[in-house]
A and B are shown apart, each in its own frame.
Chain A
Amino acid sequence: MGILEVNGVNKRFGGLQALGDVNLDVQEGTCHAIIGPNGAGKSTLLNCLVGKLAPDTGSVIFQGNPVLGRKPHEINQMGISRVFQTPEIFSDQTVLENVLIPCFARRDGSFRMHAYESVNDEGDILTQAEEMLEEVNMLSKKDMMASSLSRGDKRRLEMAMSLVQQPQLLLLDEPTAGMARADTNNTIALLKEIKEKRNITMVIIEHDMHVVFSLADRITVLAQGTPLVEDIPENIKGHPKVREAYLGEAQV
């Protein structure tokens, strides 16, 4: 039994079967990659996991608790955190404030009328946030406005915002999209470190095979909304079905 179980999830958009009977079993402490050509339903699946979309049928169980039917903030409070394809950050606020917000969310829950103390008096939270920024090498930029960061830094900031909540499950939607090679390698290193140090389970959607094969413990290949195969990376590389559906396109 895994930390995350997806059983028979179906989702239709009008006449289009976006997800057809998807089953997934993610083991605790592993990195599970979902790959597939464009339009295979990868993002739809992720949206179903975080409460943005409601699947038509099927169930999603996280640590023995059903996920479906809960709101995004409730799912996050269960310990599932998500990193978006284009970084979603609080652009009008400073880098430090961006990390403080998830710190408070983790400590105080989804709502607390916390209007008496000043943010500057919250020593523990400030230390926690600064340590996290240090870890992603962004402490020197803590007073910058988040909107003025480079794309790579925004990505790192978003990662820091997710990690500071110490989630049990991290969902990554193309974490290296639009990054230069060097940045991609930094991100891979960062994710590897996170996995080893914090033992966070990850589900990663990725186009870049370099990233997938350096991180994933298991890979599921989606095509037209249905899982083709699920196996360890070594077996996926040479799998004929996968070549046909996905890798073939890239290797011609």
Chain B
Amino acid sequence: MLGLNNADRKLFLIVVCLVAFAPFILNPFPDNVGMAQFNAGYPDLMQKLVIFGIFAIGYNILFGLTGYLSFGHAAFLGVGSYAGVWMMKLLTMNVVPALIVSVVVAGLFSLLIGYVSLRRTGIYFSILTLAFAQMCYSLAYSVLTPLTGGETGLTLSLNDPRVIGVTEVDGNIPVPHFFGLDMQSAVDLDVAGWSFTFSTGYYFAGVIMLVAFYMSVRLFRSPFGLMLRAIKSNQNRMSYTGLNARPYTLAAFVISGMYAGLAGGLMVAMDPLAGAERMLWTASGEVVLMTILGGAGTLIGPVLGAGVIAYLESIISTINDSILHSWFQALPDSLENFLVTILHPFVGHGWHLTLGLVFMGIVIFLPGGIVEGGRRIGNLFSRKKADDTETAPEPGE
């Protein structure tokens, strides 16, 4: 089925289930308890999870397979966003043309940047991509203000032509839609204290992420994927085997750039504005973190890494001192204050500190990322099971 082998099909079905049931999985606590703080089942965050998932899946095709560490992928995300908003300004609020043009424009940009950057390898390649991304950021932030909206960002307005759509609806800017399906609409479901939100935008982005994930699985298993891994493994042997590494790396670079453009376009489809900060080098660094945290070169790793980072960012940054106090209420005052003081730097604006610690822990103890952790736990269980069967008494004894 689907041209996948058994293990990959299982993995794909797991991801399908995760995406389909995310509104439940991410909302494990009823609304009225303190732990509801950790619920992540609201549309904005879920959309962010899948969109960064797409970004990381694409980045993994370049970094995970070929080992080329690009520090400029946020540029393609930003370019995709701008292209998407322009389509919504000029053509229609339907997200389809916006997404297509986002992918195409990001692809062209990555072709240009990749063509130049891939002349070098290793750290020089990374620096070149970083330089290009920062150039794109500066251009978007100041020089190209008429095209990008500069500091304020590119937003929709009532005067936009939208030649094949409508300019305004009842004096308001229309919302992004997929052939009439409103991206910002949502259905709430209240069950015994729990409230689950099913957002159209989330499921739209989720389906696109599944397609993107499926395509990356196919690519990993194809001869093309084999060649990309060969580049990471031994480029010298590759050229003495009659293979030209350059077009392979360029193709991988453009594909991952197009994934980034798709993610940028989807961000716009969820919330139609684009700002230059999306292209900043910290945004490029974030996708590197996601991929490494989840497990570079693995199929599911980048999705998990993107999920963990987006989750930590949204949840931990909302925790403040009063929430901390309410957690430790039951303890004696002095201990309560002590714990709050200790934890204070790690929450709120200090969430980066938590992320840094998590990242260091994973890189030092699990170099293969979350996926390796899962594999080790799996091995532990299967070994235990094997031991059990060995020591099981013979029937009839």
Residues of A with Cβ closer than 8 Å to B? 50, 71-73, 76-77, 81-82, 84, 88-93, 97, 100-102, 104-106, 108-122, 161, 165
Residue in chain A with minimal CB distance to B234: A90
Contact yes or no, B5 A161, CB < 8 A: no
Contact yes or no, B219 A115, CB < 8 A: yes
Q: Is B233 an interface residue (CB 8 A)?
A: yes
Provide 18 A-B residue pairs closer than 8 Å at the C-beta atoms, listed in order of the A residue.
A71-B244, A73-B240, A82-B240, A88-B234, A88-B236, A88-B240, A89-B234, A92-B229, A93-B229, A93-B233, A108-B223, A113-B251, A114-B222, A116-B218, A117-B223, A118-B221, A120-B5, A122-B223
Q: Which residues of A contact B243 (CB under 8 A)?
A: 73, 101, 105, 110-111
Q: Is B204 an interface residue (CB 8 A)?
A: no
Contact yes or no, A76 B229, CB < 8 A: no
Give Cα A248 to B251, complex, Å: 55
Contact yes or no, A50 B247, CB < 8 A: no
Contact yes or no, B240 A115, CB < 8 A: no
Q: Known: A111-B247, A118-B3, A118-B218. Contact between A104 and B226, CB under 8 A?
A: yes
Q: Is B12 an interface residue (CB 8 A)?
A: no
Contact yes or no, A104 B227, CB < 8 A: yes
Kindly identify which residue among A73, A89, A93, A112 contacts B239, using a CB–CB cutoff of 8 Å.
A73
Residue in chain B with minimal CB distance to A72: B239
Q: Known: A114-B222, A115-B219, A115-B224. Contact between A102 and B241, CB under 8 A?
A: yes
**Could you tell me the distance in whole angstroms from the C-beta of A86 to the nearest C-beta in chain B?**
11
Residue in chain B with minimal CB distance to A97: B226
Interface size class, chain B? 20 to 34
Kindly identify which residue among B3, B230, B247, B248 contacts A90, using a CB–CB cutoff of 8 Å.
B230
Contact yes or no, A106 B242, CB < 8 A: yes
Q: Which residues of B contact A89 (CB under 8 A)?
A: 234, 237
Give Cα A110 to B230, complex, Å: 13
Kindly identify which residue among A92, A112, A115 contacts B218, using a CB–CB cutoff of 8 Å.
A115
Q: Is B305 an interface residue (CB 8 A)?
A: no
**Could you tell me the distance in whole angstroms from the C-beta of A146 to the nearest C-beta in chain B?**
8
**Could you tell me the distance in whole angstroms from the C-beta of A53 to the nearest C-beta in chain B?**
14
Q: Is B352 an interface residue (CB 8 A)?
A: no
Contact yes or no, A165 B242, CB < 8 A: yes
Contact yes or no, A101 B230, CB < 8 A: yes
**Could you tell me the distance in whole angstroms from the C-beta of A80 to the nearest C-beta in chain B?**
9
Q: Which residues of A contact B150 (CB under 8 A)?
A: none
**Could you tell me the distance in whole angstroms from the C-beta of A120 to the nearest C-beta in chain B?**
7
Kindly identify which residue among A82, A91, A112 contacts B234, using a CB–CB cutoff of 8 Å.
A91
Which 10 pairs from chain A and chain B are nearest by CB?
Answer: A76-B242, A90-B233, A115-B224, A110-B244, A111-B247, A92-B233, A114-B223, A72-B239, A88-B237, A105-B242
Q: Which residues of B contact A92 (CB under 8 A)?
A: 229, 232-233
Q: Which residues of B contact A90 (CB under 8 A)?
A: 229-230, 233-234, 237-238
Residue in chain A with minimal CB distance to B8: A118
Residue in chain B with minimal CB distance to A165: B242
Q: Is B225 an interface residue (CB 8 A)?
A: yes
Residue in chain A with minimal CB distance to B243: A105
Contact yes or no, B223 A111, CB < 8 A: no
Give Cα A119 to B233, complex, Å: 18
Kindly identify which residue among A76, A112, A116 contacts B240, using a CB–CB cutoff of 8 Å.
A76
Most chain A Cβ neighbours within 10 Å, of B226, B227, B240: B240
